[in-house]
Structure 1
Amino acid sequence: MAAEEWAPTGADLTTPNTARIYDYLLGGKDNYDADRKVAEQLLKIIPESRMAARQNHLFIARAVRFLVKEGVRQFIDIGTKLPARGNVHEVATELAPDARVVFADSDPVVLSHARALLTGSSGSTLVTRADLRRPETVADDPQVRRLIDFDRPVAFILDRVLHFVEDTDEAAGVVGRLHALLPPGGHLVFTHITQEPRPDAGGDVGRVFQPTSGFFWGRGRDEIERIVEAFELVEPGLTYTSQWRPEPGGEEIAFPERTYTLAGVGRRS
């Protein structure tokens, strides 16, 4: 059945969506013709885009496993993207069946698929709507408060979210407000697109993404470090996704900078 035949009621199938473009790059099926056209244009400019998406996804899984081993059992995934094998809930509960996960996003297609994925779950998961520019408001949701105990360690996940906030000070403010919500031992997992490896491609990439529902702003390392400075970064600090605690036997990336994504895990001391 074609994706367009089972799209949620009211879904905009004509405007490309960055979450669905990401799904296409990961080899998913929850994307539409408009999304695929943008993704194929992107691949012509950045041929490593599929690899970059895969490494981003693998980083999130490694970060979640690391935090579960550190004793974290509560995760709030803001800007959750579309469900894919190895999502936060699957990774966390594989190691800790008592883990609790909130998925939050603003896109109705993402929310619809996330709810379908979690049908029949044991009550340890929740799907809710979020303003990606004000992710701290997720904590105001009564359902979130019933599931998540903010007096115990919580990990916020901002996967490919911060680069949608154009102003660097505003992005730092978002992170600072999340930091204030967390108790000691809370964490932030984040990824952020950077154009440092190919600054010459910035204009072309920008034109490709212009029709999408959310335009991103690639930043340099110094700017990203300033955005997340409220948190103490755990080793190895801010790195390209493939370099963050790679697992033995994993895919070797000869040029990590070609993931075009910097990532890290921060701790609230």
Structure 2
Amino acid sequence: MRGVDFPHIDSTRPSVARVYDAGLGGKDNYEVDRAVLRAIDAAVPNHTIVPRDNRDWLIRITRYLAGQVGVSQFLDLGSGLPTAENTHQIAQRVNPEATVVYVDNDPMVLAHGRALLEENDRTHFLSMDLTKPDEVFANPEVQRYLDFAEPVALYQIGVLHHLKDTDGIRQIMREYIDRLAPGSYVAISHFHNPGGEDGQAAADLQRVMSGGPMGSGYFRSRADIESFFGDLELVPPGLVHAPLWWPDGPQVKPLITPQRLFLAGLARKT
């Protein structure tokens, strides 16, 4: 893309976005990323079901918001690499007038994302640091594409668990939520440490993710994750395991351990 100076992509070090892409069966990843995925799977087998659950949940909430609720503006923070069924594809299938702004600063996402995500004049990709809400909201392009006097769906999907400072996350989310209009929605999915028997599996995964080359992956309590929504009203069924949030059909199989270590929720600002 002419005029765009993409950061250098280091294929010798794993990337969170590329590891997630590998977990979804994507092609925009390297052996170093797949090695991380194998290490995660060795710590807790079948963990690759989690990114798929997370993507399926994103699809369901986007259909709900664009369709039943009628939200027409989406701010997807930490968008990751484009794959099948991105936020704009889902929202615009329901409402062709929906506007989606993606924000990410991963070099791989910058290199691969813009051409694939900017498919039409209602889909935009911006390079920014999602941990700096002031900069995100002050960005002229964000202001141009999104009207914050009207409801916006703000996504932090599979992102916040890569930030270490829990109090810092609360402050970041408070700043985002304060700027949203009434009728807006906030979606968060996050690694969960439930304690008890599954608590050891969560600790093992956190050690592999945060102590290894990927560098991040923090498992928090339900109370901590709920606190990121501030005083917003959770949409039923609340903060739950992703496959249990308005599933497309009955749950015929019990959840396996990795699925019990991941929570997802959608909340409304009144």
If the length of structure 1 is used for normalisation, what is the TM-score? Answer: 0.90
In structure 1, stretches of 5+ residues that fail to align are 1-7
Once the two structures are TM-superposed, the CA of residue 111 in structure 1 deviates from its matched residue by: 2.1
1:220 aligns with 2:227: no
- Listed as ranges, the matches of 1:107-256 within 5 Å are 107-119=106-118, 121-135=119-133, 137-196=135-194, 198-209=198-209, 210-212=211-213, 214-248=215-249, 252-255=252-255
State the distance in 2 between where 1:104 and 1:183 align: 19
- Corresponding letter in the other structure for 1:72: V
Report the equivalent of 2:265: 264
- Corresponding letter in the other structure for 2:117: L
> Cα 1:136–1:30, aligned 2, differ >3 Å: closer, same or farther?
farther
The 8 Å contact of residues 203 and 219 in structure 2, kept in 1 or not, is answered as no
Report the equivalent of 1:5: none
Once the two structures are TM-superposed, the CA of residue 17 in structure 1 deviates from its matched residue by: 1.1
Report the equivalent of 2:48: 50
Once the two structures are TM-superposed, the CA of residue 99 in structure 1 deviates from its matched residue by: 0.6
Report the equivalent of 2:13: 15
Once the two structures are TM-superposed, the CA of residue 253 in structure 1 deviates from its matched residue by: 4.5
State the distance in 2 between where 1:243 and 1:77 align: 22
Report the equivalent of 1:30: 28
Deviations 1:119-160 (A, max 9, x none): 5x2210111112132245322110111111111110110011
Report the equivalent of 1:77: 76
Once the two structures are TM-superposed, the CA of residue 213 in structure 1 deviates from its matched residue by: 5.0
Instruction: Tell me the matched-pair count.
Output: 260
State the distance in 1 between where 2:138 and 2:215 align: 24
The 8 Å contact of residues 240 and 256 in structure 1, kept in 2 or not, is answered as no
State the distance in 2 between where 1:213 and 1:240 align: 24
RMSD: 1.9
Instruction: Give the SS at the match of 1:53.
Output: helix
The 8 Å contact of residues 26 and 53 in structure 1, kept in 2 or not, is answered as yes
In structure 2, stretches of 5+ residues that fail to align are 1-5
Instruction: Give the SS at the match of 2:88.
Output: helix
The 8 Å contact of residues 188 and 265 in structure 2, kept in 1 or not, is answered as yes
State the distance in 1 between where 2:212 and 2:133 align: 24
Instruction: Give the SS at the match of 2:155.
Output: strand
Once the two structures are TM-superposed, the CA of residue 114 in structure 1 deviates from its matched residue by: 1.6
Q: Percent identity?
A: 35
Report the equivalent of 1:90: 89
Once the two structures are TM-superposed, the CA of residue 202 in structure 1 deviates from its matched residue by: 4.1
Instruction: Give the SS at the match of 2:249.
Output: coil
Once the two structures are TM-superposed, the CA of residue 205 in structure 1 deviates from its matched residue by: 2.4
The 8 Å contact of residues 16 and 211 in structure 1, kept in 2 or not, is answered as no
Once the two structures are TM-superposed, the CA of residue 211 in structure 1 deviates from its matched residue by: 3.8
The 8 Å contact of residues 194 and 221 in structure 1, kept in 2 or not, is answered as yes
The 8 Å contact of residues 114 and 127 in structure 1, kept in 2 or not, is answered as yes
Once the two structures are TM-superposed, the CA of residue 200 in structure 1 deviates from its matched residue by: 1.4
Report the equivalent of 1:100: 99
The 8 Å contact of residues 79 and 158 in structure 1, kept in 2 or not, is answered as yes
Greater displacement, 205-214 / 121-130: 205-214
State the distance in 1 between where 2:91 and 2:134 align: 22
Instruction: Give the SS at the match of 1:237.
Output: coil
- Corresponding letter in the other structure for 1:132: L
Once the two structures are TM-superposed, the CA of residue 9 in structure 1 deviates from its matched residue by: 6.5
State the distance in 2 between where 1:47 and 1:254 align: 16
Once the two structures are TM-superposed, the CA of residue 231 in structure 1 deviates from its matched residue by: 1.4
The 8 Å contact of residues 132 and 161 in structure 1, kept in 2 or not, is answered as no
Instruction: Give the SS at the match of 1:91.
Output: helix
Once the two structures are TM-superposed, the CA of residue 225 in structure 1 deviates from its matched residue by: 1.2
> Cα 1:52–1:213, aligned 2, differ >3 Å: closer, same or farther?
closer
> Cα 1:203–1:190, aligned 2, differ >3 Å: closer, same or farther?
closer
